[in-house]
Amino acid sequence: MRHTFFCIDGHTAGNPVRLVSGGAPLLTGASMSERRQDFLARFDWIRTGLMFEPRGHDMMSGGFLYPPTRDDADLGILFIETSGCLPMCGHGTIGILTFGLEHGLIRPRESGRLRVEVPAGVIDVEYRSEGERVASIRLRNVPSYLAARGLRVQVPGFGELAIDVCYGGNYYAIVEPQGAYTSLDALGAARIIELSRTVRALVREQFEPVHPLDPSIRGVSHVLWADAPRGDGADGRNAVFYGERAIDRSPCGTGTSARMAQLAATGRLRRGDRFVHESYIGSRFIGRVEDETTVGPHAAIVPSIEGAAIATGFSQIWIDDADTFAHGFVV
């Protein structure tokens, strides 16, 4: 049997976004979080087939549009990526909404505004159009917080690192410059990937964060290496590692949210502050601390992220059951 998926491909700040506009499976569940569980249980082969080689690659990321499960939302998004089925994805949201609006797949109740249900919660979005194009998207992300401070890990061949774990829609192990880690450029991409796998495994041995309001969101999935900015007008730079060998080409929306939560929790950002974050390739998101709140017992912030995406083309992709690599592969 051949399964057909219609996709709009593009990128947000350099990182790929594949909006699967046709072929989404019917899911059960009373919320997008429950639908995510259903997708993982029954349809994860669609994710691996569309994200991994030979139809995707290490950085591939995307999602499906769904009707929302609640009356106060305009639509729902389910994210898929090489790293899994994320509770939230910032660059993915910017790309999916841009392509969906530009191609008439999303019809907002109020022009310039959307309320979007994602597995991690509900986010408010403002967008700016220029003619037929969506020029920028600003999303108010889910409440983000510092979950653990100063975990110490011994990285073989590198030395000790002190790591904070923060939530921004996914849980991040955040490494600030210290010890043998002087800068992103001194390490380089290949070494960052190699070290990130070890750091993530060591952090997972010590600590498993669980979201106080949704226990299905748990565990450190990403590693964010923080650095000083390279360009004028930015406040920070990062390399975000995900999956098994990806460095986010965008500044990473949930990573930027997690980083802002860390900076706020340690007195380095305040409500109303802007935080311009540069990616490994120099693209940018504008972050802002919109508000302060709590998540269970944790003090938290409500961050916003602003960025832009561009479509690069349509694709029609087949997953053929007769293909040895129907469900993708990882080398």
287 touches ligand PYC (CB under 6 A): no
Residue 259: CB minimum distance to ligand PYC, A: 11
- Please identify, among the stretches 33-41, 69-77, 89-97, 116-124, the one whose residues bind ligand PYC according to the rule CB under 6 A: 89-97
**Total of chain residues touching ligand PYC, rule CB under 6 A:** 11
- Of 43-82, binders to ligand PYC (CB under 6 A) are 61
Residue 93: CB minimum distance to ligand PYC, A: 8
Active site residue 166: no
Q: Minimal CA–CA distance to 179: which of 156, 158, 195? A: 158
Q: Are 5 and 23 in contact (CB under 8 A)?
A: yes
242 touches ligand PYC (CB under 6 A): yes
Query: Is the Cβ of residue 15 or residue 196 nearer to ligand PYC in the bound state?
Result: 15
Query: Is the Cβ of residue 58 or residue 248 nearer to ligand PYC in the bound state?
Result: 248
Strands 246-247 and 133-140: unpaired
6/103 Cα distance (integer angstroms): 13
220/222 Cα distance (integer angstroms): 6
- Please identify, among the stretches 143-151, 209-217, 251-259, 316-324, the one whose residues bind ligand PYC according to the rule CB under 6 A: 251-259
Q: Minimal CA–CA distance to 36: which of 215, 248, 207? A: 215
Exactly one of 253, 287, 303, 328 binds ligand PYC (CB under 6 A); that residue is 253
Query: Is the Cβ of residue 282 or residue 323 nearer to ligand PYC in the bound state?
Result: 282
Q: Check residue 26 and report its DSSP letter.
A: P
CA distance readout (Å), 17 to 93, 115, 292: 9, 20, 30
144/300 Cα distance (integer angstroms): 5
257/228 Cα distance (integer angstroms): 17
Active site residue 89: yes
Convert residues 291-320 into a mask of x (bound to ligand PYC by CB under 6 A) and - (unbound): ------------------------------
Convert residues 91-130 into a mask of x (bound to ligand PYC by CB under 6 A) and - (unbound): x---------------------------------------
Residues 6+ apart with CB under 8 A from 1: 320, 321
Residues 6+ apart with CB under 8 A from 28: 34, 35, 38
Query: Is the Cβ of residue 49 or residue 90 nearer to ligand PYC in the bound state?
Result: 90
Active site residues: 89, 252
Which residues sit at the interface with ligand PYC, rule CB under 6 A? 15, 61, 89-91, 242, 248, 250, 252-254
